[in-house]
């Protein structure tokens, strides 16, 4: 049972434009959300996170938005750069739990 | 710090063979995890450990075993390899279960069972 869903397997964007990645979750008990980035032949690396007490968290070019009522979060990358080409995973967990539930990932390709 | 290291990087097994995937972390983390990633799928938790001597099953434990005799090491054992175990395996570790803690991943082991 997939509790975290990323319905867009891929996204292609021109360099300098905005990339928007979407993630939906079904379990209303999740209260901490993370985005991981993965390059080929490497492990995922942590990118940015957000707690359910917030609706936005920003870190440089990366911003995550959380809409609890819709059980939806999104990751915005502005401006997109060629080095952002990677697979992005959305993940979620319960308060003070250590286990993560992952989405299937979205492959982002930034075109020059 | 090397972080989380995994060996081997790639392995081909015949059906019915066994092998151990090695995972070591040098961050003194209590929590360690094994995931598998199949094409087009997210990471699925196989087993996890909250400290030396303590392990528990995740979502997809069948066909695997683990042990945690030290804080640093968390090997994953496949006893009778099956084609369904063809996947990429990631080991991860984290320090705390608190809200701001995140998991650190190794580079992965690609396993092909033929």
Q: B54-98: per-residue pLDDT in tens?
A: 999 999 999 999 999 999 999 999 989 999 999 999 999 987 655
| Closest Cα in chain B, distance from residue A109 (Å) | 16
Does residue A7 belong to the interface with chain B, where contact is any CB pair within 8 Å? Answer: no
Confidence of residue A98 (pLDDT cuts 50, 70, 90): confident
Q: What is the dihedral of CA B28, B30, B34, B40, to 10 degrees?
A: -90
> Token digits for B61?
């434990």
pLDDT of residue A2: 82
Exposure string of A68-106, with b = 16+ CB inside 10 Å and e = fewer, is eeebebbbbbeebeeebbbbbbbbbbeeeebbbbbbbbb
| Residue B8 burial (C-beta neighbours within 10 Å; 0-12, 13-18, 19+) | exposed
The per-residue pLDDT for range B48-61, each reduced to its tens digit, is 999 999 999 999 99
pLDDT reported for residue B100? 58
Q: What is the pLDDT of residues A14-63, one digit of tens each?
A: 999 999 999 999 999 999 999 999 999 999 999 999 999 999 999 999 99
| B29 compared with A109, residue with greater pLDDT | A109
Residues 6+ apart with CB under 8 A from A40: none
Question: Which of A42, A51, A104 is opposite residue B42, by nearest beta carbon?
Answer: A104
Q: Contact A44/A89 with Cβ under 8 angstroms? A: yes
Give the one of A34, A95, A101 whose C-beta lies nearest to B102's C-beta: A34
Of the candidates B4, B48, B105, the beta carbon closest to that of A99 is on B48
Chain A residues within 8 A of B41 when measuring between CB atoms: 104
Rounded mean pLDDT, B20-43? 93
């Amino acid at each position: 049972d997939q509790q975290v869903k990323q319905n867009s397997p891929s996204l292609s964007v021109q360099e300098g434009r905005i990339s928007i990645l979407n993630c939906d979750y079904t379990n209303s008990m999740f209260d901490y959300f993370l985005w991981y980035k993965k390059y080929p032949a490497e492990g995922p690396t942590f990118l940015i996170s957000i707690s359910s007490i917030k609706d936005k968290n920003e870190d440089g070019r990366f911003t995550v938005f959380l809409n609890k009522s819709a059980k939806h979060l999104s990751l915005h990358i502005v401006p997109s750069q060629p080095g952002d080409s990677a697979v992005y995973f959305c993940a979620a967990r319960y308060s003070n739990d250590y286990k993560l539930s992952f989405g299937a990932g979205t492959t982002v390709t930034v075109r020059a | 710090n090397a972080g989380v290291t995994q060996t081997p990087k790639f392995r081909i097994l015949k059906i019915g063979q066994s092998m151990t995937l090695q995972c070591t972390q040098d961050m003194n983390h209590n929590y360690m995890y094994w995931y598998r990633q199949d094409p087009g799928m997210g990471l699925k938790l196989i087993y996890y450990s909250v400290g030396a001597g303590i392990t528990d099953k995740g979502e997809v434990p069948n066909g695997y075993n683990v042990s945690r005799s030290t804080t640093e090491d968390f090997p994953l054992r496949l006893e009778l390899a099956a084609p369904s175990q063809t996947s990429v395996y990631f080991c991860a570790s984290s320090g705390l279960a608190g809200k701001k803690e995140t998991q650190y991943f190794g580079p992965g082991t690609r396993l092909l069972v033929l």
